[in-house]
Each structure stands twice: as C-alpha cells, then as structure tokens.
C-alpha cells in the first residue's frame, strides 16, 4: 500500500495526524509530512479512516 | 439477520454510512434516497472555492462514479422520503411504502429564512449547490453591493469571498459581537476586526426589520433606523434540522432526531449528521453538531450501529471539531465552549494573525480556538479527548512555549 497526498489540496488541518500519527505529521511550520509512505497492511484501516476523514479529500491509497 | 438497509439523505453522513456498511461486510441490499438530483457532493466548498469561482462543481463529488458502482447501492436521487412507519418497518418514498430491516436517517438541515422575504428576487440562503451557483452568478452582476445578514461562519465566509471578488459588502449581526455565544466576546471581537480590516462594513447589535424592493431586493431597513442598499442579500442565520417528514412517525423529535448514546433513535433506526441529536456521554446531555467531521464520524458510527447487537454497541463520544476559511485565515475550533469559560490566549496574538486560545471553567478544559494554528488545535483536541484539566492544558501550553 502506498499513501499519496495531493499537496495542492491539503490544507494542513491535521485530522489525518489524529487518526494515524505514525504516518502523518503536521509540524510547527504547519506543513504536513508523510512519515511513512509505504506503511504495512496492518495500518490499512487507519489510513482508510484518514482518507475518509480528510476534509479536502487529499489522501489516496495506491495499491 | 438484516437483508435491506435504507439510508435517507444522500450527502456526507449518508454516503459515509453506506461506505461503512460495505466495508464492514454487509452484503444485503442498500438503498440510498436523496432529494437533490445532483450526485452526492461536498458542502464546505460552496462557501469557499466554488463560490469564489476557483472550482467548478465537478470537483466536489463525494464519491467518484466508479466508487458508487463498487458500493452496489440502489441510488435514488431526486426522491424524497415523506413518512416513516416504525411498527411496519417501512419508509414512504415519493408516496410508496418500502420495507427496511435497518434505517439510517441522514437528512441534514436547511437554512432558516428571513420571514417575509420569499417573494423578493436577489435574496439567498446557502445550503445547496444550486444556492451557491445562484449567489455566484448574482455576484458577477453589476452593480454589486452585497448585504450579508448574520455574521456566523457561513455568512463570514460569503463576505470573505465577495470582498476578494471586489464586491462591496455590508454585514449585519443582531448580536453585539459576532459569534459571541460560541466564542465569547474577546475572540468574537477578533473575528469582527478581521472583517473590518478587509473593508467589510460590519454593523453589530442591529437587526433587519424589512427587506424592500418591488420584485428584486433593493435595500434593507435596519432596526436602528438606517437603510442599507443592496443588490444581493445572503441570509446566514442558522439552520433547522430536516425532521418534517418524521413528524407523525412517533420518533422523539426535539431540534433534531433524538438518539441514545449509540446513535439509535428506535429499534433498527439510527440517525447521523446535522439532523441527529444524541446523548453525548462526555457532556452528560444531548447535543446536535453541524460540522463536517461529525457527519463523517457519526455516519460511520450510526451505520455500524445498525449491524450491531445492543451488547456490541458503543457510545458515540467525539470531541466536536470544525474549521472555517475566511480571508487568509484558517479558523478551527475543537470542543464545546461553555458560557462560564475563561479564555486564555496561549500562543501568538491576533495582531500576528496567528494564535491559539483555550477555553475552560470549573477546572475543566473545554475547548480550543486556533487562527492559522492547525497543529496546536489538534494537539489540544487530544487533551480534551483525554479529559485534561484546565491546569494540565495550561501546563501543556507553557511547554509549547
Ligand atoms: C455552505 C456550507 C459550508 C460549510 N462549511 C463547513 C466548514 O467549513 N467546516 C465544517 O466543519 N462544516 C461546514 N459545513 C457543514 C457541513 O457541510 C455539514 O455539517 C454537513 O454537510 C452535514 O452533512 P449531512 O449529511 O448530515 O447533511 P446534509 O449535507 O445537509 O445532507 C442532507 C441531505 O439529505 C437530503 N434530504 C433532506 N430531507 C430529505 C428527505 N425527506 N428525503 C430525501 N432526502 C432528503 C438533503 O437534500 C441533503 O442532500 C458547511 C455547510 C454549508 C452549507
Ligand atoms: S487531513 Fe487532509 S487536508 Fe488535513 S492535513 Fe491531512 S491530508 Fe492535509
């Protein structure tokens, strides 16, 4: 699984960081950093929740 | 075993509910009924990118067409639910009673109108894509003087987009300070300053007596005796939940569909999103939340509830959170403020255009407000979730420096 963020859409509101902090981090500069672009399958449901809850629909999963 | 689940309301909460039913393994029949004829779409851009003309409507689909096909849902757009029989387990759609084993109510809310203004062209509310496109077109005309009635979040976003497009904007707010009941006087004043510094003629503590004009609106008479001329009026004075179709159903209705802590309104019936009022364990009372993130989370929770037994069911206890984009500012609030709250500015300042403020009372940490401070809002949101005390929240703020 590959996590892809469309940074043109992302507005750094950090909802994804709440859902999966080991994968998404919004730092003090208020930019989103993807800490792990290829997380293991055990993280799939967390990433799927982040996809659903991102208000900008900026996250997608590429298998 | 359930074989047929019906979801009424084909928008955010309803669609996320349908997705959850499928991802949780429900392989029975799903019917999704929506009054609007458009494919399910996202509302926040209606007062932001779409209104500004930066995005066209095709960018705000909530689900791509192939995704909808994957969900194998009987999507019935342009149809309205008109009644519910709990005993018979039927919902009436366009006059025909249809049986369900499980029902998710996600009919959202509609804008409150300004009484006595229905006959005038040029007077708008903003809830649907059609509303948005009508306002967008109106703002392209000349002369362009916009009156926004109500300085809540939607009205404020409309004002901000209009100012950006070179429209002359007057905003009238009945309260002495915008959003004072939600944000308190100090932060509410910050919001007022933001509008004024961008050239909005904001008048607080005055009400609209009457909108005047023959066929089209021409002006508004205010209760301080003044008159504001306007070519376009956008009324943003709150919403009412869409429960009219449930009036005789026997469901408990009180400014929303009343649910227990698990989002259950009656056996086999749940509700989610703007229409749902539920017993929130954290607050020890019922709440109804009109935020995007809640529609998503509650849509998921209420759909799952339909697949669970009473023993398996869990309470829905989120920390409410929303954002609003105005001018170059991103406003976010997490938690629920309380009228007794003390407000403490912990980082930054309104002058810098970037700050975080905390709300607390009785030793409790209740809410956080951030202006261009997304990371910190989320950090404090976690603290609220952990039921941190006021002292703990302030100590955490000191650590952040
Ligand atoms: C302009 C605008 C901007 C917003 N911006 C933000 C923001 O920046 N941040 C934020 O957190 N929130 C924002 N929101 C709020 C957010 O969009 C709502 O909380 C969310 O849309 C609620 O979703 P819902 O599915 O519960 O209800 P809705 O989106 O209201 O959908 C309900 C659907 O049910 C349909 N329906 C109603 N009655 C019936 C019936 N009897 N039969 C069949 N169908 C029916 C309606 O036509 C509608 O399509 C905004 C809302 C608007 C209108
Ligand atoms: S939730 Fe979406 S918009 Fe927000 S920071 Fe994450 S990717 Fe960006």
**A42: number of CA atoms within 13 Å, CB side?**
1
Contact A26, B375 (CB under 8 A): yes
pLDDT band at residue B66 under the 50/70/90 scheme: confident
Are residues B344 and B358 in contact, defined by beta-carbon separation less than 8 angstroms? Answer: yes
Q: Tell me: pLDDT of B401 over 80.
A: no
Looking at the partner chain, which of A11, A30, A55 has a beta carbon nearest the beta carbon of B375? A30
Alpha helices in B55-105, H assignment, sequence order: 65-70
Taking an 8 Å cut-off on Cβ atoms, the answer to whether B300 and A15 are in contact is: no
d(CA B207, CA A37): 53
pLDDT in tens, A4-56: 999 988 988 889 998 999 999 998 888 899 999 999 999 999 999 899 889 98
Segment B232-278, tens digit of pLDDT: 999 999 999 999 999 999 999 999 999 999 999 999 999 999 999 99
Structure tokens at B54: 């930066």
Q: In 10 A of CB A27, how many CB atoms? A: 12
For ligand 2, mutation pick of A4, A7, A8, A10 (most atoms within 8 Å of CB): A10
Structure tokens at B17: 């509910």
Ramachandran bin of B270, using left for φ above 0, alpha for ψ from -120 to 50, beta for the remaining angles: beta
Q: Over range B62-71, report the average pLDDT.
A: 88
Structure tokens at B7: 């979801």
As a whole number, mean pLDDT of residues B18-23 equals 95
Whether residue B382 and residue A18 make contact (CB cut-off 8 A), yes or no, is yes
Residue B260 phi/psi, 5-degree rounding, is -80, -175
- Whether A51 contacts chain B with CB within 8 A: no
Whether ligand 1 lies within 6 angstroms of the CB of B117 is answered as no
Nearest to B370 by CA among B345, B351, B396: B345
pTM of the model: 0.95
H/E segment holding residue B47: none
Domains and CATH numbers, chain B: 4-110+239-307 (3.50.50.60), 113-235 (3.50.50.60), 328-400 (3.30.390.30)
φ and ψ at residue B68, rounded to 5 degrees: -65, -40
CATH of A2-62, one of 3.10.20.70, 3.30.70.20, 3.30.365.10, 3.40.50.1100: 3.30.70.20
Residue B234: how many other CB atoms lie within 10 Å: 29
**Residue B355 beta carbon below 6 angstroms from any ligand 1 atom:** no
Q: Is the CB of A43 under 6 A from ligand 2?
A: no
Judge contact between B360 and B390, C-beta under 8 A: yes
Instruction: Reply yes or no on whether the pLDDT at B1 is more than 70.
Output: no
What is the atom index within ligand 2 of the atom nearest the CA of A53?
1
| A57 Cα: distance to centroid of ligand 2 (angstroms) | 8
pLDDT at B337: 96
CB B306 within 8 A of CB B262: no
Query: Looking up tokens 């008109």, which residue turns up?
Result: B82
Q: How far apart are CA B61 and CA B136, in angstroms?
A: 19
Residue with CA at minimum distance from ligand 1 atom 6? B44
CA of B260 relative to ligand 1 center, distance in Å: 22
Percent of chain B with pLDDT over 90: 94
Q: CA–CA separation, B398 vs B396, rounded Å?
A: 5
Rounded distance from Cα A55 to ligand 2 centre (Å): 7
Q: What is the mean pLDDT of residues B102-107?
A: 98
Cis amide prior to A20 (ω within 30 degrees): no
The closest ligand to the CA of B84 turns out to be: 1
Q: Yes or no: say if B129 and B46 are a contact pair by the CB < 8 Å rule.
A: yes
Hey, whose CA ends up nearest to atom 3 of ligand 2? A10
Residue whose C-alpha is closest to residue B230's, from B320, B126, B148, B327: B148
A50 — contact with chain B (CB < 8 Å)?
Answer: no
Q: Is B69 left (phi over 0), alpha (psi -120 to 50) or beta?
A: alpha
Q: What are B55's two structure tokens?
A: 């995005």
- Does the Cβ of A12 fall within 6 Å of ligand 2? yes
């Amino acid at each position: 699984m590959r996590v892809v963020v469309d940074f043109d859409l992302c507005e750094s509101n950090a909802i994804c960081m709440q859902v999966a902090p080991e994968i998404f981090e919004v730092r003090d500069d208020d930019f989103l950093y993807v800490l792990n672009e290829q997380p293991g399958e055990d993280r799939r449901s967390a990433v799927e929740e982040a996809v659903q809850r991102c208000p900008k629909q900026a996250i997608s999963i590429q298998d | 075993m359930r074989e047929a689940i019906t979801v009424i309301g084909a928008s955010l909460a309803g669609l996320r509910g349908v997705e959850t039913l499928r991802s949780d393994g429900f392989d029975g029949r799903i019917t999704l009924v929506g009054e609007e004829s458009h494919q399910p779409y996202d509302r926040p851009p209606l007062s932001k990118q779409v209104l500004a003309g930066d995005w066209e409507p095709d960018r705000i689909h909530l689900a791509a067409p192939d995704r909808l096909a994957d969900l194998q849902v009987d999507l019935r757009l342009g149809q309205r639910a008109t009644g519910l029989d709990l005993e018979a387990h039927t919902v009436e759609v366009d006059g025909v009673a249809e049986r369900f084993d499980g029902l998710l109510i996600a009919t959202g809310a509609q804008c409150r109108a300004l009484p006595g203004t229905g006959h005038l062209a040029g007077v708008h509310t903003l809830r649907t894509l059609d509303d948005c496109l009508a306002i967008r077109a109106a703002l392209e005309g000349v002369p362009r003087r916009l009156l926004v009635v109500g300085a809540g979040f939607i009205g404020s976003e409309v004002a901000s987009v209009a100012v950006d497009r070179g429209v002359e904007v007057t905003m009238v707010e009945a309260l002495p300070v915008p959003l004072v009941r939600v944000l308190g006087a100090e932060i509410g004043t910050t919001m007022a300053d933001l509008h004024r510094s961008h050239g909005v003629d904001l008048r607080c503590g005055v009400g609209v007596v009457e909108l005047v004009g023959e066929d089209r609106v021409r002006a508004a008479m205010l209760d301080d005796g003044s008159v504001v001329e306007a070519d376009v009026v956008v009324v943003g004075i709150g919403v009412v939940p869409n429960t009219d179709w449930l009036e005789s159903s026997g469901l408990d209705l009180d400014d929303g569909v009343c649910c227990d802590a698990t989002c259950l309104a009656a056996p086999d019936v749940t509700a989610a999103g703007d229409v749902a009022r539920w017993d929130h364990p954290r607050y020890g009372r019922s709440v109804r939340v009109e935020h995007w993130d809640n529609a998503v989370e509650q849509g998921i929770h209420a759909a799952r509830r339909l697949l669970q037994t009473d023993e398996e069911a869990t309470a829905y206890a989120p920390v409410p959170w929303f954002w609003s984009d105005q001018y170059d500012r991103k406003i976010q609030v997490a938690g629920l403020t309380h009228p007794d709250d003390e407000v403490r500015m912990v980082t930054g300042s309104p002058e810098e255009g970037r700050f975080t403020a905390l709300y607390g009372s009785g030793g409790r940490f209740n809410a956080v407000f951030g202006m261009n401070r997304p990371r910190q809002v989320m950090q404090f949101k976690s603290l609220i979730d952990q039921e941190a005390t006021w002292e703990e929240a302030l100590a955490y703020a000191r650590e952040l420096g």
